């Protein structure tokens, strides 16, 4: 059987990108592994940049960081549930998981663990501010992946 990993993180991937990944898996008769990587550096980087440019005052309190983290987890769970539901509706076998860590490292770990033939990533069109705040691990992932890569624009 062919294994496909759909690696998601940070921003809403968009229904078209998810539908494309599911459609690709259906056509290839592949099992889909959807993973949402909670990149622990994202909220810290955002707070650091916003503090540096004077958008917010001193470092945010633990309550604000906890609220951002909780919302991040909620959005990840919602996105994964939507992927699973859409895959089931298309008759695509799908497993979902949420992991924490660096997007590139964790995506590569999931690819290796499932012996993926294809890695699907979703690249969102980021504004300049978004690129400044969060950067992009996509280029690193594309260079390091040991399998075919499909990039969908969201």
Q: What is the residue-wise DSSP string for 80-126?
A: HHHHHHHHHHTT--EEEEEEES-HHHHHHHHHHHTT-SEEEEEE---
Q: What is the pLDDT of residue 125?
A: 60
Q: How far apart are CA 32 and CA 126, in angstroms?
A: 26
Q: Which has the closest alpha carbon to 36: 66, 75, 92?
A: 75
Q: How far apart are CA 121 and CA 116, in angstroms?
A: 13
For the chain, first and last CA: distance in Å?
Answer: 28
Instruction: Quote the pTM value.
Output: 0.80
Q: Is the pLDDT of residue 26 over 80?
A: yes
Q: Is the pLDDT of residue 128 over 60?
A: no
Q: Is the pLDDT of residue 127 over 60?
A: no
Q: Which has the closest alpha carbon to 146: 16, 5, 41?
A: 5
Q: How far apart are CA 37 and CA 142, in angstroms?
A: 16
pLDDT over 90 for what percent of the chain?
44
| Mean pLDDT, residues 1-8 taken together | 93
Which CATH architecture does the domain made up of 2-153 adopt?
3-Layer(aba) Sandwich (3.40)
Q: What is the pLDDT of residue 109?
A: 96
For the chain, what are the domain ranges?
A: 2-153
Higher pLDDT, 58 or 98: 98
């Amino acid at each position: 059987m062919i294994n496909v990993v759909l690696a998601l993180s940070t921003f809403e991937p968009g229904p078209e990108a998810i539908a494309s990944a599911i459609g690709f898996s259906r056509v290839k008769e592949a099992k889909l592994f959807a993973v949402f990587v909670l990149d622990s550096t994202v909220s810290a980087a955002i707070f650091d940049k916003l503090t540096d440019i004077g958008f917010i005052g001193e470092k945010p309190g633990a309550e604000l960081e906890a609220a951002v983290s909780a919302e991040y987890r909620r959005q990840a769970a919602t996105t994964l549930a939507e992927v699973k539901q859409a895959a089931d509706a298309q008759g695509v076998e799908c497993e979902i998981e949420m992991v924490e860590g660096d997007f590139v490292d964790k995506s590569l770990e999931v690819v290796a663990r499932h012996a993926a033939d294809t890695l699907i990533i979703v690249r969102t069109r980021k504004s300049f501010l978004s690129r400044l705040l969060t950067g992009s691990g996509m280029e690193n992932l594309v260079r390091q992946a040991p399998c075919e890569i499909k990039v969908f624009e969201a």
